[in-house]
Amino acid sequence: MNLPKSILCCFGSAFLLVIAYPQIEYWPLAWVALVPLLFALDGKTFRQAWGGGFLFGFLFFFATVGWLMYVTVPGAVLLVAYLALYTAFFARGFVYFQKFPVISRVFVLSSLWTVLEFIRAHLFTGFGWVMLGHSQYKNLLLIQIADITGVYGVSFLVVLVNLVVFETLRAVFKKEEGVFGKLWRLQMITVGLLSASLVYGVWIFSRGSSSTMVRVAVVQPNIPQKIKWDERYMSFIIRQTLDLTDTAAQDHPDIILWPETSLPGVLSEHPSYFKQIQLKARHLKIPIVMGTIIEDHHHYYNSAVFIDSDGTMRGKYHKIHLVPFGEFLPLRFLLGWINRFVPLEDFTSGTEYTLFPVGNWAHRFGVLICFEDTLDDLWRNFTKAGGEFFMNMTNDAWFMDTKAPFLHLQAAVFECVQNKRSLVRAANTGVSGFVDSLGRIIALAHDPTGKKTFVRATASADIPLEHRETFYTKYASFFTTLCFACILWALAVARKRYA
């Protein structure tokens, strides 16, 4: 394939894959979206494949996470370029393993994509959004395997199908003799894996969820980012959130959840506003979980505060996983010069997996702040500590009215499935709502037109409380370790073969 056609195929794959994600969300396209890219890489040199993989990755990630430009244009471009390196590595691997027999080649390349996603989710504090498997978050039966493999198992299957489709089409177009028997076996293996995954999903759904419920309400105040930290507007912000709390209380919830930093300031510096919130909880006789900043011995924490139905502050959780360049400056001894241009003070990370009570400690839940609801380790540790469901308070107003809040929700759905725990989300500007332990979106806050982001709204729902730990919660690295082992085996074989 000549260069113009190869470039066109890279554009085509990026376009098809973007459509599989929010907000269009035509998820079936993900199963064939990589096929044009694979044709573009076929027969290329390492250098050409690297360039094609990078181009595809840059286009795809720019279209899906380019909303970071609302925060920082240089940072967004650098992040997109960094993420594109992972697809470039996959493209190079595609060429490197091209001489393997078709069945082993397909499984090695599926493992390679999976391993690269795992590394991306963990290296340099990790960026685990827009995984290939995330595109399937509405494919509820299939994604239940995530409680064994994590999202990585779903990504593996999607890449596998793309590769099988590519190998089949290539054999047909090139009229390759002697390969169709092997392809038939590969196709049957693939169909078997997909069927087994769906059967497992049916079995999981047949078990149902817990019959023990807690009713939770969320408020979405829709405070513009440009005024959120302006003290002149603090009274307005608190008043608007309290008014929405009155509306939410009409559904008689057991708990009401506010968004991240819903009291936008240091708690100890605004006692009068905190008093208003305490009085509201006491008046409604409903606990309120709110976000704010807490100062303790000259350390500042992004925190969640639990206010009981009698107005007493019963506990607080300090955010554990901070956002680099947002809540702290990494490698400050090297990058301290940045403060000359952008003042940035460091928050302090929390260290405790704090759980809050439902009904006099009969049941307990954890709170995840900002994008903590997309982080495997936090979910698993909170679950092991005894959390029976989770709340997420966040503020995605930084990214304006883009697909960012929906990508955030998409990633969080998988954490629910992986750990079989329900999630309640209160976002300042959306998406706010409820996801059960099977990944079903129960309800989302919206205005009368159905709009879910950048609107004032409340919502409430009954959330099941779960107790069992999944295989993934206990042994999260099992599947990715198998993929790593597959890559190591392939490298050892390739070294002998190419020596």
- Please, which residues bridge with residue 256 across strands? 217, 288
Q: What is the pLDDT of residues 411-441, one digit of tens each?
A: 999 999 999 999 999 999 999 999 999 999 9
Residue 141: the pLDDT is 98
At residue 164, the 3 state secondary structure works out as helix
Q: Which of 44, 117, 167, 260 is catalytic?
A: 260
DSSP 311: S
Residue owning tokens 């976002």: 427
Residues of the chain with pLDDT under 70: 177-178, 325, 328-345, 361, 498-499
Q: What is the pLDDT of residues 283-331, one digit of tens each?
A: 999 999 999 999 999 899 999 999 999 999 999 999 999 987 677 666 5
Token pair recorded at residue 128: 């685990």
State the Cα angle at 381 between 312 and 111, rounded to 5°.
145
Residue 483 among the catalytic residues:
no
Whole-angstrom CA distances from 377 to 92, 309, 321, 373, 437 are 30, 31, 10, 10, 17
Pick from 419, 412, 415: nearest CA to 474: 419
At residue 441, the 3 state secondary structure works out as strand
Residue 333: the pLDDT is 47
The rounded distance, in Å, linking the Cα atoms of 125 and 249 is 38
Q: Which of 319, 403, 420, 452 is catalytic?
A: 319
Sheet holding 355-358, edge to edge: 355-358, 363-369, 389-394, 422-427, 433-435, 441-444
Whole-angstrom CA distances from 258 to 48, 357, 378 are 50, 16, 20
Q: Torsions phi, psi of 314, nearest 5?
A: -95, -15
- Count the alpha carbons within 13 Å of 373 in the hemisphere toward its beta carbon: 34
Residue 370 among the catalytic residues:
yes
Whole-angstrom CA distances from 469 to 53, 275, 366, 387, 391 are 38, 39, 15, 10, 18
Which residues are CB-neighbours of 207 under 8 A, at least 6 positions away?
none
Residue 185: the pLDDT is 94
At residue 55, the 3 state secondary structure works out as helix
Residue 181: the pLDDT is 75
At residue 390, the 3 state secondary structure works out as strand
Q: Which of 9, 370, 416, 486 is catalytic?
A: 370
Q: pTM of the full predicted structure?
A: 0.95
Distance of CA 487 to the CA centre of its chain: 26
Token pair recorded at residue 17: 């894959």
For residues 68, 70, 75 and 81, what is the CA-based torsion angle, rounded to 10 degrees? 50
Residue pair 291/369 in contact by the 8 Å Cβ criterion: yes
Q: Which CATH architecture has domain 213-466?
A: 4-Layer Sandwich (3.60)
Residue 352 among the catalytic residues:
no
